[in-house]
Amino acid sequence: MTVAPRTASAHIDAPEGLIPDALSPVIDALCKVGIDLSRTIARGPLGGALGAEVGENTDGDHQKALDVMANDAFAAALKGTGVRWYASEEQDSVVALDEGGSLALAIDPLDGSSNIDVNVSIGTIFSILPAEDEAEPSFLRPGRDQIAAGYIVYGPHTGLIVTFGAGVREFVLDRDKERFVPVEDAVSVPREAKEFSINASNMRHWRKPVLDYVQECLAGETGALGVNCNMRWVGSLVAEAHRILARGGIFLYPGDARPGYETGRLRMVYECAPMAMLIEQAGGEATTGTERVLDVVPDRLHARVPLIFGSAAMVERLRACHARDGAPA
């Protein structure tokens, strides 16, 4: 008779001691909803009109059916797991969950929603902080205060990438077992790489440091870099981060001259801070161009921050462009 290994969690095979006890129910709930969403997303149009517009969030973004479905599922599953405060891209203000909970959790329930209907990778991003007595102050603090951060990527396979502050782990959803299983215990971003990622349709709005940096990349072996670069832009932050964690590169969503985009597009609390923690824990760098992302203190829940991250040598060159031009990101 085979005896199933005793595990603390029903939805993830985590090595003993990896997940702090207080976080175990939270991670399990995130995995459970991630597995459910993965199944729904894999059904595509058979699962209903997942990409249909159903409203607008606080930032003026169009909300898709799957954005709302994912937010509702995470909020419901996190009840009773020790999360006192729940902050989501899809909700104007912080929601109180467990009164006696010690944790604050911020989430982008569905990242990359413009890719839902085109069968391209999308994800869920989460950030876990110690809860304060007040709701908003639990989140309006530097990203270096995070005690865990991660994302689930829904792609050709579904993966979970997570850090508890001591390196980055990778898990993959085993669909036969309906559990996340470990595949890599030390994810690391190569220091050097040649792939850059930016939405070049905004080029005419960029400021000089970003323009200079991208021009260096485009000049390839004929310019200061001396090597040819490659370019990728998926339009899902989670997918770009996953590629960079796998093979290096740099991602840029800087501020630009468009009204409303002065500090970029991505939100500090549930996009930039968790990605920055993951990238730093994997040996990469994350900057606004002039400041370490994890040192930025957001002034409101949905504050946007310029986000540039990836291979340390590439980010250093980008920072040098800012230092040279003396301009903001």
* Secondary structure (DSSP) of 152-192: EEESSSEEEEEESSS-EEEEEEETTTTEEEEEESS----S-
Please state the φ and ψ torsions of residue 130, each to the nearest 5 degrees: -70, 140
Alpha helices per DSSP H over the chain: 24-42, 65-78, 208-219, 237-247, 273-281, 312-325
The sign of the torsion formed by the CA atoms of 188, 194, 200, 204 equals positive
Sole window of 77-85, 149-157, 230-238, 285-293 interacting with ligand AHG (rule: CB under 6 A): 230-238
Nearer to Mn ion, 28 or 89 (CB): 89
The sign of the torsion formed by the CA atoms of 249, 326, 302, 265 equals negative
Sole window of 181-189, 204-212, 216-224, 234-242 interacting with ligand AHG (rule: CB under 6 A): 234-242
Q: Is residue 71 near ligand AHG by the rule CB under 6 A?
A: no
Pick the binder of ligand AHG from 38, 81, 113, 146 (CB under 6 A).
113
Quick one: CA torsion of 142, 20, 241, 115, rounded to 10 degrees? -100
Nearer to Mn ion, 62 or 204 (CB): 62
Pick one of ligand AHG, Mn ion, none as the site partner of residue 298 (Cβ within 5 to 8 A by kind). none
User: Which residues in 82-141 contact Mn ion (CB under 5 A)?
Assistant: 89, 108, 110-111
Instruction: Choose among 191, 212, 158, 204: nearest CA to 327.
Output: 212
Pick the binder of ligand AHG from 71, 81, 163, 236 (CB under 6 A).
236
Q: Is residue 127 near ligand AHG by the rule CB under 6 A?
A: no
Q: Is residue 61 near ligand AHG by the rule CB under 6 A?
A: yes
Residue 158 · residue 34 · CB < 8 Å: yes
Please state the φ and ψ torsions of residue 292, each to the nearest 5 degrees: -60, 130
Pick one of Mn ion, ligand AHG, none as the site partner of residue 61 (Cβ within 5 to 8 A by kind). ligand AHG
Residue 190 · residue 177 · CB < 8 Å: no
How many amino acids of this chain bind ligand AHG (CB under 6 A)? 12
From the CB of residue 68, how many other CB atoms can be counted at a distance below 10 Å? 16
Site string for ligand AHG, 245-284 (x = CB under 6 A): --------x-----------x-------------------
Site string for Mn ion, 215-254 (x = CB under 5 A): ----------------------------------------
Q: Is residue 199 near ligand AHG by the rule CB under 6 A?
A: yes
Pick one of Mn ion, ligand AHG, none as the site partner of residue 50 (Cβ within 5 to 8 A by kind). none
Residue 214 · residue 196 · CB < 8 Å: yes
Q: Is residue 88 near ligand AHG by the rule CB under 6 A?
A: no
Which residues contribute to the site for Mn ion (CB under 5 A)?
89, 108, 110-111
Binding site residues, ligand AHG, CB under 6 A: 61, 89, 108, 111-113, 199, 235-237, 253, 265
